[in-house]
Structure 1
Amino acid sequence: MQKQYASPAGHWQWAIPVHHKQGVRSGEMIWLGGQSDLGTDGTIRNPDSLERQVDGSLENLDRVLREFGADLLDLTKLLCFYVHDHGAGEIELLDMIAARLPEGARPAITAIPLPYLAYPGQKLLIEGYAMQAADGSRLPRKYASSSDATPLPAPFASAVRCGKMIFVSAQTPMLEGSLAYPGDIIAQTRQVMRQIGAVLGDFGAGFDDVVKINRWYVGQGKAEDFEPAAIACGAHFNEPGPAATGIPVPRHSLDGHLIKIEVVAMLGEDGTRLPRRHAWPESLWDWTIKLPYHHGLKCHDMIFLGGQVSLDKQGCAVDPDQMKPQTRQAMVHIGTILGELGASYADVCKLTTMYEGPTGLDAMHENLEIRSSFMPDPGPATTQIVFPALAYPGMIIEIDAFAMVEPDQA
């Protein structure tokens, strides 16, 4: 599919040469790489000030959107990573963002707390997804109304439907306005999945319509942290299921809160289920437990990949704790999956990279340069987030990829 790329004049750039761009448009979709309060010299403009970094991050998002003739009103989803250091909490962050969005903007939103981000003094990183008609007009939207969904401050929506796409905000386990089952990750997972099912039902959709699922669970990089909630979540999907990514975080914003889950679903605008193809190449890795997910999924013109890593078929790290070979292996897996679905690196619109390591640009550049080398120029939008640990011991990078190609012919 034809693509447009955005790297606005006067915008910040990476400190090393890369093929990535700040935004990519393909069809009605606009993919925005992670934006922070970075200046043209690539340094944080307002170190350690969350409120001022909200201003700068949204300003940068808006600048990229305007390169496509769009603006913040076209947003369908925001994903925010923020430093939780006993300063402003999640509700305060959401209120700050809400106050700076234009009237009429109602995106879905997910906020993930972390102990630090890549740049010194960085408090916030926001990536976004927007949709706009080919002629530049606003696309109509529908919003979930389920009372079972996690309460969010106005104007954020529990879920947004735009065309064939349904974006569901990360759900927190809530019952009657309070955190449900504190400290019990399996019960919390089941509660969150009930909420997601109710929200999808507002649009006539269900779990079989989910194309991508992200789990953000409390863990320290051990298989025993990953497995119980993964099994509880996977029980809601028939095989072959959606593409999936599961990332541990040190904590969520509330004591006893152990998991958040967000999904993307696709459904025909007339309410019919859209056909899809799945990919599991023979050369790829597997989890330590049986799960219904597939490494790649194509639905209409969209391709979603689960997080790609350097594991073997028994779920053990290959090249443990070595960033460069693990990055190369993850990128090779991405190319293999894309090829099985009739696509290539040139069709990728967005990469989201989660890596284990310390704060600082050296750690980020170690994998950024390799990821970029697999991409043609101009390349996809990208986001990179540093975590204290990932799902399995010795596994230190996980890369999500999203691509767009022409729909399969009937």
Structure 2
Amino acid sequence: MRLLGKAVLTISALGLAASTSAQDVRNEGAGSRREALDLMIFQPAPTDDLLAASDWIGDKPTSASLNGKPVLVFTFAEWYRPSHTAAMLGKRLKDQHPDLVIIGIHDSEGWDEAKAFAEKRKLGFSVALDTDGAIRDSFMVDQDPDVFVIDRAGNLRFADITTDSVAAAVEVVASESSEEARNAEANQAEAMRSARAAQRRAGGINQSVSLDNLPKIPFTAPTAEQYAATDWPKIDRELLEEASSIEELTPPFAVPDGEWLNGKPDTDGKIVVAYIWHPISRTVMNDLMVKMEDMHKQQSRDVTVMGFMVPIGDDRQSRNRDGGLIRDEFRDLSISKSGMSFALGQRQITHSLLASQQGSPLPALGNQRSRRNNQDLNGRVIIVSSDGRVRRAVDDMRDWDLVLQAVDHLIRVDPGVKARRAAEARYIRGNGG
């Protein structure tokens, strides 16, 4: 199974048309656990411990009630807010696929709160209490939310996939008959053979051209209509209620001029991930900035990362909000290029940084958030599409998974990214051997 997954990734990376929407489903995880999960694909789903659970919200499913049905299984915990995304996604997918069975697996803690959450959100599907962790163990869960999809033949079809891949995975299994599900493994192998043949006919891509050394290739910018028709990440309903319009909620973002450390960033045809920071926050310096640097190094082809050092609020205290003492040399640190260099010390940061003396240059998200001072916003992250529109904002670094999900989603759907990549592909082919 692992070789199959690698081949699918290669076909998608080359931009060749896939004969099944399963190509749009992406896995999470790596190493030995991912290998073990891959071996479970197309095998009977491990539902024994799940169906044996005694405490349920909603009706308890049975083998008979699951027979011949597509099933979406996800893990979550009411007290872990990032996992709420999977629960709300399950609710939407149930509305789109009436015969889809949704089953939530809740953590052993917070069961009463989970009941209140299900009632408040009107989830409308069954949730099992994983009392001793046996259900999670059977699915090899490592972190909520993990998502699994079972086909009409009762086989595990997708295991631990990205949140933005769930809709595609459900579409695959919901559109199949039970007979097609039983033959899915053979059909997917045939699709791979066809894709390889298409790759050979296309002549391949010149491997001597490095993506890291590509010149800037001109491309035709997408139209406003193309951006408007794109399937962007859904806006949280509660945030939408804080704003008078969608334009207020997702204001445009422009890269400001100034004295940039590591150079002014290029954003043409790319996703922008921007954040604000000040060295009073050890968490931002030691966690968020490191994660941003990793993203910059790993995804610089499609993502531009930039950070803005801002003054702290006038109401600063002797202790910062991380609970650590503010170092004396950071109390009145100059918001300047030299101040940034001093704060960074020996840190090897290569993404672009700018000192913003007037405060945060990032658009506020909703009226309530616009009133918060710079210290409150220290660590805020926004994700911007290539048309300069804010598509997601995250204020809590514990929600880093939401940042990754939004970035992955935008890279897949952004018209500007697609147009730039298409131009680069033409250049590579034109300069091939």
More strand by share: 1
More helix by share: 2
Q: Which has the larger radius of gyration?
A: 2
> TM-score range, shorter-chain basis?
under 0.3
TM-score, with normalisation over the residues of structure 1? 0.25
